Amino acid sequence: QIEEGYFRLGDLFYFQLSEKDNASQSYIKLLNRFPQSEYVPEVLYKLYLIAKDTDPAKAEVYANELKNNHPRSTFTRILINPDYMRETSVAAEKQKLIYKEAYTLFQANNLRPAQEKLKQALQEGETTFTPQLELLKVLIVGKTEDVTRYQFELGEYIKKYPDGELKPYAEQLLAASKTLLTKLERAKGIQFIKSMEGPHNFVVVYNTSDKITNPVSSAIEKFNAVQFKDLKLSTTNIILNEEKTITIVSEIPSQAAALSYFDKFLAQIAPGKPFSNYKFYSFVITKDNFQIFYRTKALDEYLAFFDRNYQKQNQ
């Protein structure tokens, strides 16, 4: 609150009262007391503007500090090129439109086309929206590469955009990934079978507390009757643990048929009710691996196995 108070007081003196000396004092107090503040780049830029007409040497000090310590800040870019915002706004708007398409593809696990869209967006040049594009690029790495590479790319992103709005989110992703990796290391005894031959099950996992077992089963049974009536599939509901319930579709004859089922589920019924209103996980699994999954309750581990061994083949 004190930090923001200095910032707001400085803005009051600078913009509303035109008292530049008092504004400078408030901004400098903020820098001295809160050197790691998110406001630092903006404050340095304002101090530069205040000083440039009356004390060029001091203005140069602020400018150099801004450029050296915050090279990727929007305020640094404006300092170097006063037309920066105008020049990048058109490109950024184009990027936002392409990003929406890429993110929709990413959410549907259609990862190669998503990567192509991101490449197209990044070719528009570096704009204020570029960090959003690059973070989605890292998220795709998390889906398609090993966890070490994913963590490395998150770390590089954080270093590249130390003042970025998405830095805290990237830090959360990195921390969560490290926690998961620790959990996986502890669970090294869980080994899923890498043979994908033979019959498969399709599984939907959701929170028991959501009380959606009946609508989930009903939606899937109707889907099976329309799309896979020749396969004679059966649907079963089972409690997985204290928090999760699973709905299982059994007797899918092969890996190819299972992936076809998975793709059609994501495209045709996952976007509708009840699925669109709740968080759930879906995947296909061999009968042997289902026995391991159900015995160990290793949801995170199997989801990682599924992405590495099924999703990459299906991109």
- Residue-by-residue DSSP string for 97-124: HHHHHHHHHHHTT-HHHHHHHHHHHHTT
Q: How confident is the model at residue 182 (pLDDT cuts 50, 70, 90)?
A: low
pLDDT for the residue 314: 46
* Sign of torsion over alpha carbons 208, 211, 216, 221: positive
pLDDT for the residue 83: 77
Rounded Cα gap, residues 24 and 100, in angstroms = 41
Angle value at C-alpha 272, between 236 and 291, nearest 5 degrees: 25
Block residue for tokens 């398609």: 144
Quick check: 145 pLDDT over 90?
no
Query: Is the distance from CB of 24 to CB of 50 less than 8 angstroms?
Result: yes
- Using one digit for the tens of pLDDT, what is the confidence trace for 192-220? 998 899 999 999 999 999 999 999 999 99
Secondary structure (3-state) at 24 = helix
Find how far residue 143's CA is from the centre of its chain.
11
pLDDT for the residue 87: 67
* H helix count then E strand count, the chain: 14, 4
Quick check: 313 pLDDT over 50?
no
pLDDT for the residue 185: 60
Query: Is the distance from CB of 67 to CB of 74 less than 8 angstroms?
Result: no
Rounded Cα gap, residues 130 and 121, in angstroms = 9
- Using one digit for the tens of pLDDT, what is the confidence trace for 47-103? 999 999 889 999 999 999 999 999 988 899 889 988 777 667 778 888 999 999 999
* Residue among 220, 302, 307, 200 nearest 260 (CA): 200
Cis peptide bond upstream of 274, omega within 30: yes
131-140, 230-239, 265-274, 292-301: which has the minimum mean pLDDT? 292-301
Question: DSSP string of 148-169?
Answer: HHHHHHHHHHHHH-TT-TTHHH
DSSP assigned state of 209: G
* Residue among 305, 246, 315, 314 nearest 280 (CA): 246
- Using one digit for the tens of pLDDT, what is the confidence trace for 225-265? 999 989 989 999 999 988 999 999 998 999 999 999 999 99
Rounded Cα gap, residues 110 and 18, in angstroms = 54
Give the chain's mean pLDDT: 90
**% of the chain residues with pLDDT over 90:** 65
> Domains in the chain and their CATH numbers?
2-80 (1.25.40.10), 84-186 (1.25.40), 200-311 (3.30.70)
Residue type present at position 170:
A
- Using one digit for the tens of pLDDT, what is the confidence trace for 183-199? 666 566 678 998 899 99
The Cα-based distances of 152 to 26, 147, 309 in angstroms read 39, 9, 22
